[in-house]
C-alpha cells in the first residue's frame, strides 16, 4: 500500500504537469489515429498466400503489425521513460530534493516514469480499439491470461532496463545513448513490423536474445490464435528468465550509480 501511495503521488504530479500541455496529449492521440489506417491499408497489399511467414499468426498482416507497434511503443516507453524523467529532474534541479524523500531510489525512478508508461499504454489501447471497431481486428478469441502474463513479464523486463538507463544518466549527466540504440535494434530484429523468420539466419538467431522478440510472439499467439500459458510455456519461461536476471541487476546498478553521484556531488545537471 505504501508503494502504491508513493507511485500515485508521482503520477498525480505528472498528470498536473501534463495538463498544462494538452497539445502534447492531442498529438499522441493523433499519431495513433493516423498510423492505424496506414497500417491497415498497407496490410491490404499483403495476402496470406503471398506471405507464409504470417501463417503461424493467422495470416493477417494488419493484425500482426498493429499488435507489434502497440506493444513496441509501450515497452519502449517503459525503457526510456525512467531515464528521460531523471534527466528532466536533473536539469530543473529537483532531483536531489526528490531523492531526499523517504522512498527507495528504484521505486522513485519507476514512479517518475509512470506517466510515460500510462500515455504509451493509452496509445497501445487506442490501437486495439481502432483496430477492432474500425478495421475489423478480431480480439474475441484472445487468451486473456496469456496476454496478461506475456505483457506483464515484458513490462517488468523493460522497466528494469529503464532503471539501468536512469543509472547511466546519474553517472554521466547525459541522456543514455545505449537505450536508444537498443530501441532501434529491437525495432529492426524483434519482429515489430515483420516476422523474424524473414531475417537472415544470423540475425534471426540474434533476435532470440532480445526480450521483445519473445514478448511479441507470445502476445500475438495469445491474441490471434488463442494460445494459453501452457502452449506459450517456452516464451513465458524465457521472459521470466530475463526478468529474474535484469530486475536485481538493475537495482544494484542504480544504487551504485546513486552512491557515486552523491559522493561526487553530481546529482545536479551541471
pLDDT in tens, the chain (270 residues): 545 565 565 566 556 555 556 666 676 777 888 888 888 888 777 766 557 888 888 878 899 999 999 999 999 888 888 778 777 777 776 666 666 666 677 777 777 777 778 888 888 888 888 888 888 888 888 999 999 999 999 999 998 998 888 888 888 777 777 888 888 898 899 999 999 988 999 999 999 999 999 999 999 999 999 999 999 999 999 999 999 999 999 889 888 888 887 777 666 555
Does the residue 4 lie in any domain?
Answer: no
DSSP structure class, residue 136: -
Report yes or no on 12 lying in a domain: no
Could you tell me if residue 26 is inside a domain? yes
Give residue 191's region: left, alpha or beta (phi > 0; psi -120 to 50).
left
pLDDT of residue 158: 92
61-92 helix and 22-43 helix, angle to the nearest 10 degrees: 160
Q: What pLDDT does residue 4 have?
A: 57
In a domain, 9, yes or no: no
pLDDT of residue 217: 96
How confident is the model at residue 214, as a pLDDT? 96
- Quick one: pLDDT at residue 11? 61
Alpha-carbon distances of 224 from 68, 108, 137, 177, 193, rounded to whole Å = 12, 37, 9, 35, 16
C-alpha cell at 254: 542504480
Alpha carbons within 13 angstroms on the beta-carbon side of residue 125 total 6
The pLDDT value recorded for residue 16 is 58
pTM: 0.85
Q: Is 143 left (phi over 0), alpha (psi -120 to 50) or beta?
A: beta
Question: 175: domain range?
Answer: 21-264
pLDDT at site 223: 94
How many domains does the chain divide into?
1
| Buried/exposed code over 93-129 (b: 16+ C-beta within 10 A; e: otherwise) | eebeebbeeebebbebbbbbbbbbbbbbbebbebbbe
Question: 2 lies in a domain?
Answer: no
Note whether residue 5 is domain-resident: no
SS3 88: helix
Amino acid at each position: 500500500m505504501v508503494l502504491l501511495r508513493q507511485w500515485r503521488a508521482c503520477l498525480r504530479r505528472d498528470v498536473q504537469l501534463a495538463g498544462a500541455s494538452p497539445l502534447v496529449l492531442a498529438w499522441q492521440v493523433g499519431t495513433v489515429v493516423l498510423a492505424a489506417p496506414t497500417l491497415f491499408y498497407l496490410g491490404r497489399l499483403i495476402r496470406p498466400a503471398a506471405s507464409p511467414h504470417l501463417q503461424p499468426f493467422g495470416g493477417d498482416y494488419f493484425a500482426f503489425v498493429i499488435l507489434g507497434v502497440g506493444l513496441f511503443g509501450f515497452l519502449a516507453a517503459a525503457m526510456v521513460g525512467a531515464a528521460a524523467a531523471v534527466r528532466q529532474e536533473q536539469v530543473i534541479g529537483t532531483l536531489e530534493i526528490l531523492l531526499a524523500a523517504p522512498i527507495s531510489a528504484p521505486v522513485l525512478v519507476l514512479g517518475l516514469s509512470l506517466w510515460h508508461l500510462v500515455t504509451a499504454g493509452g496509445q497501445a489501447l487506442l490501437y486495439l480499439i481502432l483496430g477492432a471497431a474500425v478495421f475489423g481486428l478480431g480480439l474475441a478469441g484472445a487468451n486473456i491470461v496469456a496476454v496478461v502474463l506475456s505483457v506483464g513479464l515484458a513490462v517488468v523486463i523493460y522497466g528494469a532496463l529503464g532503471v539501468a538507463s536512469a543509472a547511466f544518466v546519474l553517472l554521466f549527466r547525459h541522456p543514455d545513448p545505449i537505450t536508444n540504440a537498443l530501441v532501434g535494434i529491437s525495432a529492426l530484429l524483434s519482429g515489430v513490423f515483420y516476422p523474424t523468420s524473414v531475417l537472415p539466419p544470423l540475425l534471426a538467431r540474434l533476435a532470440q536474445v532480445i526480450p521483445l522478440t519473445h514478448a511479441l510472439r507470445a502476445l500475438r499467439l495469445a491474441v490471434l490464435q488463442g494460445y494459453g500459458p501452457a502452449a506459450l510455456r517456452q516464451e513465458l519461461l524465457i521472459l521470466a528468465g530475463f526478468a529474474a536476471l535484469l530486475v536485481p541487476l538493475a537495482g544494484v546498478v542504480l544504487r551504485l550509480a546513486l552512491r557515486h553521484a552523491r559522493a561526487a556531488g553530481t546529482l545536479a545537471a551541471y
